């Protein structure tokens, strides 16, 4: 990534702070057409997304490590809203994978493409202790230059708690959604 592109500020999309590059392709994400048999793995960042993705992919591949090793996890379980310069977007990868497929996201439920709900796709929601997530996310923020500068631990923790570090999906979003759909 070029120096001038490093550490861009988060960009609000529908009131939700997003990584600049993710925000730039959100219109395309919103138009994504899920298939009825697609499975969505929905998590807050740093909550076990890759771990769960590997397990579910292995189940889909009938426990065959050889089948799983053919491609890296980001190609086997594309990240729906992923976008960074000079790397294929999650949407591009999803156009190339066979269906049904596994898809991961950090979007809150209200920002998911409507097709996931219309097609009645299955969803696995993963939650992790918020204290563990905050620590892991802080170190990830330091490493991943697509995020703004995290500042000190204390500064980051304040942003994490008030939702301005990144308001991704959280259990409350899904609980409210399921409550409304059950009525």
List alpha helices for 35-152, DSSP H.
49-60, 65-69, 73-76, 90-96, 114-118, 130-143
**Rounded CA gap, 113 and 162, in Å?**
25
Q: How far is CA 131 from the centre of its chain?
A: 19
Identify each DSSP E strand in 22-178 by its residue range: 39-43, 102-105, 122-126
* Number of neighbours of residue 27 by Cβ within 10 angstroms: 9
Radius of gyration of the chain from its Cα atoms, rounded to whole angstroms: 16
**Rounded CA gap, 42 and 106, in Å?**
6
Which residue among 46, 76, 104, 106 is the active-site one?
106
72 is written with which tokens? 């890296």
35 is an active site residue: no
Tell me which residues are annotated as active site: 106
């Amino acid at each position: 990534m070029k120096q001038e592109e490093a550490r861009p500020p988060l960009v609000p999309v529908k009131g939700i702070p997003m990584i600049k590059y993710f925000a730039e392709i959100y219109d395309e994400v919103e138009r994504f057409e899920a298939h009825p048999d697609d499975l969505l793995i929905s998590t807050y960042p740093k909550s076990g997304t890759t771990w769960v993705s590997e397990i579910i992919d292995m189940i889909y591949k009938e426990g065959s490590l050889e089948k799983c090793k053919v491609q890296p996890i980001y190609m086997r379980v594309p990240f729906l809203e992923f976008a960074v310069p000079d790397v294929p977007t999650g949407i591009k990868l999803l156009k190339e994978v066979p269906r049904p497929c596994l898809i991961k996201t950090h979007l809150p439920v209200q920002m998911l493409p409507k097709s996931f709900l219309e097609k009645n796709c299955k969803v696995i929601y993963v939650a992790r202790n918020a204290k563990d997530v905050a620590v892991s996310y802080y170190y990830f923020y330091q490493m991943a230059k697509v995020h703004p500068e995290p500042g000190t631990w204390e500064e980051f923790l304040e942003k994490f708690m008030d939702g301005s570090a990144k308001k991704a999906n959280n259990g409350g979003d899904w609980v409210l959604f399921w409550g409304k759909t059950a009525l």
